[in-house]
Amino acid sequence: MTKVVFSPAQELVVHEVVEVSKDDLLLERITPNGNMPLYWCNGLLFSFSSVPMTEEVVKEYLKGRIHWLEVHYTRMDKYTPLITFESPEYKSTMNVKVIDTSFSEMHMEFVKWLKDKAKIK
C-alpha cells in the first residue's frame, strides 16, 4: 500500500510586491502561446513569478520554503471566473481566466500579510 503524506509549505518568501492597474495585470498574462490565469483570493487579484528551479531552490522547496520572485496585484472585491476586456495592443477582445484560491491556506496567509503590510482595505 502507498503511504500518502501531505507536506504543505512552511514558509513563503516574497522578494518583490507591486500594485499595478487591473489593465496592466491582465495584459501581463497574455503570451504568444495563450493567456496565463490570474489568482483571486479575498478581494485581491494577483499573479506571481517563481524563481527558476535550480538545485538550491528545489532543496528549499522540499524543506517547505517557497520563493516568489515578484507579485503583481490589484484590488478586485468579487470573484469572477473570467475577465473579458478590450486590448488596444492586440486590437481584440481578450479573456483571462481567474482561479479562486481563497481555499488555499498559503494564498490566504499571503493576502492577509499583504493587506496588513500595504494597509489595503
Query: What is the tens place of the pLDDT at every residue in 64-108?
Result: 999 999 999 999 999 999 999 887 776 778 889 999 999 999 999
Q: Look-up: residue for cell 496592466? A: 24
Give the separation between CA 76 and CA 41, rounded to whole angstroms.
9
Domain assignment present for residue 1? The answer is no
Note the pLDDT tens digit of each residue in 34-72: 788 999 999 999 999 998 999 999 999 999 999 999 999
Domain assignment present for residue 4? The answer is no
Nearest to 45 by CA among 105, 117, 99: 99
The domain in which residue 96 lies consists of 11-118
Structural domains in the chain (count): 1
pTM: 0.88
Domain assignment present for residue 111? The answer is yes
- Give Cβ neighbours of residue 21 (< 8 Å, ≥ 6 apart): 74
C-alpha pair distances (Å), 101 with each of 33, 107, 111: 24, 7, 11
